[in-house]
Amino acid sequence: MARPYAWTEGRTLPTVELAVEALVQTTPEGRAVPYNRASAMSTVTQLCLQPRSIAEVAAYLSLPLGVARVLVADLLGAGLVLVRDTLGEDATWEERHELLERVLSGLRTL
């Protein structure tokens, strides 16, 4: 098995800013790519057939969060996944609080 940072060629910063709670889902183009067990990017597209947060991607694959962000950013650039932010800049305190509760609940289930 390759070291996680080998999958990102040593890169630790994604090409786009991605929130930990942002939801990632594989696009139809990503679904059409044949699965390659040895490819981290292929594994992420398979994992994200159902929407998953970037934090979940990192946890499921036992990767550092930085590696998961770089992989997802690369997949986004290739059009193989969509990334949806869960909150906008104008989110209310209540919306932010609800998001934190969902994140905590998800962490507890992991």
Sign of the C-alpha dihedral computed for residues 72, 77, 83 and 88 taken in this order: positive
Sequence-distant (6+) residues with CB within 8 A of 90 are none
Helix axis angle for 40-47 and 65-77, nearest 10°, is 80
Read off the pLDDT of residues 47-100 as tens digits, 9 standing for 90 and up.
999 999 998 999 898 888 888 999 999 999 999 999 987 777 787 888 888 877
Read off the pLDDT of residues 14-53 as tens digits, 9 standing for 90 and up.
778 888 888 999 999 999 999 998 888 899 999 999 999 9
In the Cβ-directed half-sphere of 14, how many Cα atoms lie within 13 Å? 20
Which parts of 1-110 are beta strand (E)? 23-26, 52-53, 81-84
Assess contact for 62 and 1: CB atoms under 8 A. Answer: no
* Domains of the chain, residue spans: 15-109
Residue-level pLDDT at 76: 94
User: pTM of whole model > 0.85?
Assistant: no
Residue-level pLDDT at 51: 93
CATH 1.20.58.110 for the 15-109 domain, yes or no: no
